[in-house]
């Protein structure tokens, strides 16, 4: 019947898997592979990596998808290798060469001298080969048709830009940056300042929000564990749903208060006084978001996230729903 929600097939799995995405595979393809391996009813990723890129890609299952925005908005860390003297239309090794330039005069000292110019808050123009949309169309699709759209510069932040190695026409950087940073554009801009151009040859994400490279699992290791131990074995690899919001202040509610919050009502709780008040700006009062837990004598259960209101009450924002 129309209007009736179709029941999803698969297991009602909830949690996060920190994937080491392989090279040459799209983030969506990796997501679909994991969804199949875990036989999960619902899954989503938290920010695409280019097919050329490898590394940390958090995958959210079930109710954990409700908090994926916190990972999309989080800071990231990358390790990138770039080649000097060659520009490509995509800014990486998968693109067509559009210009070559001599690199005489560009050495390690020269490169180190320009890197400070890219530290802190800088303006960056997103590349045409990106998933940003123009009138509903991803820019990369327009770029493949030879169409170039004017893009507005965006302010990003570079927290760390460390030169790890320099060898003739190649260099390696470690970059810690804010959301929305395009490493390909950063490398291209560095190449422009050096006067010879540059493009990305290797890109690996090491960190996203609270998650780090030592928490990653490869598709191969997951497949092997599934073959030897079944779902029970691979389910142990999952991070709890609360992991993506672990940076937020924590509020503990008793059972009675939690009952009313789960009904959608704003509630009073003593711990609110320990949380700083919502901040005011020219856009109005910005909500203070917290993670919410229900406690009893023996344990506590994650409920979701809420907002501290100006009057000191706690309002639900995104609560999990467990069957």
Which structural domains are found in the chain, ordered by start? 15-73+211-242 (3.30.2350.10), 76-208 (3.30.2350.10), 248-319 (2.30.130.10)
Distance from C-alpha of 293 to C-alpha of 49, rounded to nearest angstrom: 32
Distance from C-alpha of 104 to C-alpha of 312, rounded to nearest angstrom: 63
Distance from C-alpha of 256 to C-alpha of 246, rounded to nearest angstrom: 24
Per residue of the chain (323 residues), give pLDDT as tens: 445 555 668 999 999 999 999 999 989 999 999 999 999 999 998 878 888 899 999 999 999 999 999 988 999 999 999 999 999 998 999 899 999 999 988 999 999 999 999 999 999 988 776 666 666 676 667 667 676 777 788 899 999 999 999 999 999 999 999 999 999 999 999 999 999 999 999 999 999 999 999 999 999 999 999 999 999 999 999 999 999 999 999 999 999 999 999 999 999 988 776 676 554 444 445 678 999 999 987 889 999 999 998 888 999 999 999 76
- Helical (H) or strand (E) element with 307: strand 300-308
Alpha helices in 6-134 (DSSP H): 27-38, 68-72, 108-114
Contacts of 142 (CB under 8 A, 6+ apart): 128, 134, 148, 149
Q: Is residue 73 among the annotated active site residues?
A: no
Question: Are the C-beta atoms of 248 and 290 separated by less than 8 Å?
Answer: yes
Q: What is the pLDDT of residue 277?
A: 58
Instruction: Point out the catalytic residue in the list 50, 89, 92, 189.
Output: 50
How do strand 250-253 and strand 288-295 relate by DSSP bridges?
Answer: parallel
Distance from C-alpha of 217 to C-alpha of 59, rounded to nearest angstrom: 11
Is 46 buried (19+), middle (13-18) or exposed (0-12) by CB count in 10 A? buried
pTM: 0.89
Distance from C-alpha of 267 to C-alpha of 292, rounded to nearest angstrom: 12
Question: Are the C-beta atoms of 306 and 317 separated by less than 8 Å?
Answer: yes
Q: In Å, how far are 51, 72, 84, 220, 254 from 172, measured between CA atoms?
A: 19, 25, 11, 27, 52
Q: What is the pLDDT of residue 236?
A: 98
Q: What is the pLDDT of residue 286?
A: 66
Distance from C-alpha of 103 to C-alpha of 188, rounded to nearest angstrom: 14
Q: What is the pLDDT of residue 5?
A: 55
Q: What is the pLDDT of residue 2?
A: 47
Q: What is the pLDDT of residue 281?
A: 44
Question: Are the C-beta atoms of 252 and 301 separated by less than 8 Å?
Answer: no
Cα radius of gyration rounded to whole Å, the chain: 23
Instruction: Name the phi and psi angles at 158, rounded to 5.
Output: -110, 115
């Amino acid at each position: 019947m129309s209007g009736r929600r179709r029941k999803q097939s698969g297991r009602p799995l909830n949690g996060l898997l920190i994937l080491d995405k392989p090279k040459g595979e799209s983030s969506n393809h990796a997501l679909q592979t994991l969804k199949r391996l875990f036989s999960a009813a619902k899954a989503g990723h938290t920010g695409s990596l280019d097919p050329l890129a490898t590394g940390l890609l958090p995958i959210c299952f079930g109710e954990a998808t409700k908090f994926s925005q916190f990972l999309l908005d989080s800071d990231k860390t990358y390790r990138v290798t770039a080649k000097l003297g060659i520009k490509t239309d995509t800014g990486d090794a998968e693109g067509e060469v559009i210009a070559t330039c001599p690199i005489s005069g560009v050495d390690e000292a020269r490169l180190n001298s320009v890197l400070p110019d890219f530290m802190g808050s800088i303006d960056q123009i997103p590349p045409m080969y990106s998933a940003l949309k123009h009138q509903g169309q991803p820019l990369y699709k327009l770029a493949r048709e030879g169409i170039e759209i004017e893009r507005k510069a965006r302010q990003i932040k570079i927290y760390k830009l460390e030169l790890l190695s320099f060898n003739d026409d190649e260099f390696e950087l470690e970059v810690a940056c804010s959301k929305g940073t395009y490493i390909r554009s950063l490398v291209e801009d560095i190449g422009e300042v050096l006067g010879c151009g540059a493009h990305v040859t290797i890109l690996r994400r090491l960190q996203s929000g609270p998650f780090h490279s030592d928490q990653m699992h490869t598709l191969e290791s997951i497949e092997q564990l599934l073959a030897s131990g079944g779902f029970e074995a691979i389910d142990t690899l999952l991070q709890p749903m609360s992991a993506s919001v672990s940076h937020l202040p924590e509020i503990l509610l008793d059972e009675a208060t939690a009952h009313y919050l789960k009904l959608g009502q704003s509630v009073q709780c003593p711990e609110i006084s320990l949380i700083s008040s919502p901040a005011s700006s020219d856009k109005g009062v910005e909500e203070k978001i917290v993670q919410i837990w229900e406690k009893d004598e023996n344990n506590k259960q994650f409920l979701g996230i809420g907002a501290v209101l100006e009057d000191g009450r706690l309002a639900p924002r995104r609560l999990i729903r467990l069957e």
